Amino acid sequence: GIQVEQSPPDLILQEGANSTLRCNFSDSVNNLQWFHQNPWGQLINLFYIPSGTKQNGRLSATTVATERYSLLYISSSQTTDSGVYFCAVVLGGGFKTIFGAGTRLFVKA
Amino acid sequence: DTGVSQDPRHKITKRGQNVTFRCDPISEHNRLYWYRQTLGQGPEFLTYFQNEAQLEKSRLLSDRFSAERPKGSFSTLEIQRTEQGDSAMYLCASSLVGQSGEQYFGPGTRLTVT
């Protein structure tokens, strides 16, 4: 089956630093989303980005579908950015959604 | 504009008991998904509905699990004869056919089997 790999698995940043999170997937996909899971377990939508580049404030994302990867950029990180970031892909032709194992981010004040 | 809601938010049950969870999707969304998430892992897909039809089921959904969406609105997930390994967060999401397919998640139901 399709593999979704996220890196790095853990990341510790000083407040104000920038970071790049990566998501690699092994097959063609219809959809790709990035989520932030807060400490209470709620998954918050960041980007729906099957291809191209999008920006929302300090966050931006790029997906290169032909090379099967997506990147999430966090600039000027804040302590409230802490949590787990997941990418999720929907397989081509279906509806089954596969999540990566996540990147656990901790931003120090 | 209400989001996806789930009930209950927490459930503690004894091994062997049956439990049922409810999910109310965003009102105009006709696609509904169930996931299970264990500690330190990403959510795992369980099943998918389009309107009232259950179109896809994961092998994770054993015979003890059943999901329904009788009128194409809310959905229920029932676990029979619970086991300690069923302890997890159960997440529901919804999306809209004809749009991007972007999924929106509820707050989850945390199940603890003692």
Q: To which residue do tokens 């990403």 refer?
A: B42
User: Which tens digit of pLDDT belongs to each residue from A43-60?
Assistant: 999 999 999 999 999 999
Q: Provide the pLDDT confidence category of residue B19 given band limits of 50, 70 and 90.
A: very high
By Cβ distance, the residue of A31, A45, A102 closest to B101 is A31
Q: Which residues of A touch B58 (CB under 8 A)?
A: 96
Residue B1 has pLDDT above 60, yes or no: no
> How close B44 comes to chain A (CA, Å)?
7
Residue A2 has pLDDT above 90, yes or no: no
> How close A9 comes to chain B (CA, Å)?
11
Residue B23 has pLDDT above 80, yes or no: yes
Residue A12 has pLDDT above 70, yes or no: yes
- Comparing CA positions, the residue from B54, B105, B62, B42 lying closest to residue A87 is B42
Residue A92 has pLDDT above 80, yes or no: no
| Residue A5 CA, distance from chain mean position | 10
Q: To which residue do tokens 């089956």 refer?
A: A1
> How close A37 comes to chain B (CA, Å)?
10
**Type of residue found at B24:** D
User: Which tens digit of pLDDT belongs to each residue from B53-70?
Assistant: 998 888 888 899 999 999
- Is A95 an 8 Å CB contact of chain B? yes
Percent of chain B, pLDDT > 90? 79
Q: Provide the pLDDT confidence category of residue B32 given band limits of 50, 70 and 90.
A: very high
* Side-chain half-sphere CA neighbours of B107 within 13 A: 10
Percent of chain A, pLDDT > 90? 82
Average pLDDT over residues A79-91: 94
By Cβ distance, the residue of B33, B56, B107 closest to A41 is B107
List, as ranges, residues 47-86 from A with C-beta within 8 Å of B.
48, 86
Residue A99 has pLDDT above 90, yes or no: yes
Give yes or no for a cis peptide into B107 (omega within 30° of 0): no
Contact A42 B42 (CB under 8 A): no
Q: Provide the pLDDT confidence category of residue B89 given band limits of 50, 70 and 90.
A: very high
Residues A61, A109, A5, A31, Cα dihedral to 10°? -30
Lowest-pLDDT range of A26-35, B12-21, B105-114: A26-35
By Cβ distance, the residue of A42, A45, A98 closest to B102 is A45
Structural Rg of chain B based on CA atoms: 13
Instruction: Report residue B32 as tokens.
Output: 């509904």
The number of helix segments (H) and strand segments (E) in chain A equals 0, 11
Q: Provide the pLDDT confidence category of residue B98 given band limits of 50, 70 and 90.
A: low
- Is B87 an 8 Å CB contact of chain A? no
Which residue of chain A is at minimal alpha-carbon distance from B88? A41
> How close B50 comes to chain A (CA, Å)?
10
Residue B46 has pLDDT above 70, yes or no: yes
